[in-house]
Amino acid sequence: MRRLASRRTIALTMGGVVLLAYVALVGLRVLYPLAYESDIANLAEIHDLDPALIAAVVRCESRFRAAAVSAHGAVGLMQIMPETGAWIAEQIPISDYSTDRLIEPELNLRLGCWYLRSLLDRFDSRDEALAAYNAGPTHVERWARGDGSIFPETRTFIDRVNASLPVYDAYFSARWLLRITPSLLL
């Protein structure tokens, strides 16, 4: 009888541990959502980018909301400014670009990934590239010369992207995590 009670206790404890672990994973998916996974993975390969970095930037910019528009006028998943989008479209080139299309997830990711790659190639560190992504390359060049200091918003952006990277690394390294938990975009 004691043996049966002991086995039940062990089974209930193990079941509770598994349930708590699953709830923690679901909570992680709420805090660190991921959508457009295959687009991100494809563009990461095309542009020689870490897919976790792309996902971290998208999370910090728009929380994966394709129609997001910032107070400054940046649009879409990767929060592309309309002027920057037009410039990137000329560089790639994309002949049918229009500002209205920035809410299209595939186009926004394509433009944002191209721009992020160009900034990583231009600046010495990932943090400088992220600062340029957030505040513009001109500001980063000024800050590097000692003219002014980084905007608090830009410092926060860099810190948030870097803090998100380990979670997105885990998602892309252990894709089974994504399959066993629902995608919860809030």
Give pLDDT tens digits along the chain (186 positions). Answer: 677 767 777 766 776 666 666 666 777 888 999 999 999 999 999 999 999 999 999 999 999 999 999 999 999 999 999 999 999 999 999 999 999 999 999 999 999 999 999 999 999 999 999 999 999 999 999 999 999 999 999 999 999 999 999 999 999 999 887 788 776 665
Q: What is the pLDDT of residue 186?
A: 52
Does residue 106 fall inside a structural domain? yes
- Residues 184 and 33: their CA atoms lie apart, in Å, by 6
Examine residue 92 and state whether it is found in any structural domain, yes or no.
yes
What is the CATH classification number for the domain harbouring 95?
1.10.530.10
Residue 67 domain-assigned (yes or no)? yes
3-state secondary structure of 69: strand
Our measurement of the distance from residue 16's CA atom to the centroid of its chain's CA atoms, rounded to an integer in Å, reads: 32
Catalytic residue among 37, 45, 61, 90: 61
Residue 174: C-alpha distances to residues 29, 40, 65, 96, 178 (Å):
14, 16, 24, 37, 8
- What is the per-residue pLDDT for 16? 66
Q: Is residue 11 part of a domain?
A: no
**The predicted structure's pLDDT at residue 178:** 77
Question: Does the annotation count 61 as an active-site position?
Answer: yes
In a domain, 151, yes or no: yes
Q: What is the value of pTM for the model shown?
A: 0.89
Structure tokens at 13: 């404890």
Phi-psi region of 33 (alpha: psi -120 to 50; beta: other; left: phi over 0): beta
For residue 32, the model assigns a pLDDT of: 95
Q: What is the pLDDT of residue 109?
A: 98
**Does residue 139 form part of some domain?**
yes
CA distance 55 to 63: 9
Longest dimension (CA), the chain: 78
> Does 22 fall in a domain?
no
Structural domain including 154 reads: 35-175
What pLDDT is recorded for position 184?
Answer: 63
Task: Name the domain count of the chain.
Answer: 1
